[in-house]
Amino acid sequence: MSFGLSRRTPQDLQGWGLDREDLPQWENATLDPRLLFADPNRRFELEIGSGKGTFLVQQAAMQTDTNFLGIEWAGEFQRYAADRARRHTLNNVRVLRDDGSEFLTHRCADHTVDVIHLYFTDPWPKKRHHKRRLVQHSTLQHMHRVLKLSGQVHLVTDHAELWEWYELHVEAAANLFDRGPFVTPQSAGDEEVVGTNFERKYRREGRSFNAMTLTRVDNLEKSDAS
């Protein structure tokens, strides 16, 4: 399947499209992703599983004072999303080809992220593949680690069984996050939850959605006191 990038190379996307092999400070959770931008002091948000970049492009155009890093493993999607940011001259967007779970666990430095967006991630429906789901007990711990004080995680899925998985894991991580109603992004249109390509496709198919927002618990003694 082609998305119009047959003549676009990674070199053409320099400044928007990044590959994990090209980044410095790669190991031991020392990479500060804010330094990928001209102004690293801006608010910083991370989307894991950016696909073709619909959310990134929409939201970055509305939040021009925020830097957005999208992570996408599929090279063709990553290049497509980076090219969209390039064509819109969105200098507050970067798209990194990487595994989102590995980025959280092994690369991203502590307390660098304001918001993590997880929209319609792969449900890996077969039981033997559940270990590949992005939300795990360990990754929730790393999300807590990389988030700033009172940082948030936004979760949306159309997959009922994955939603049950989210609920169980979030309940088990009550000492790390407070669960609340979903905070709809500015870029979502009327009656939209997020406004991604997946959501628009699934709405045409009549699917329903579940969503929640997690807020980082800054006092880890909360659960001991309750």
Q: How far apart are the first and last CA of the chain?
A: 52
Task: Provide the β-strand partners of residue 95.
Answer: 17, 70
Give the integer Cα–Cα distance in Å for 87 and 85: 6
Give the residue from 161, 159, 164, 167 showing the smallest Cα distance to 207: 159
Q: Which residue is listed with tokens 């449900």?
A: 123
Q: Which residue is listed with tokens 């319609």?
A: 120
Give the integer Cα–Cα distance in Å for 62 and 183: 16
Catalytic residues: 122
Give the integer Cα–Cα distance in Å for 89 and 193: 26
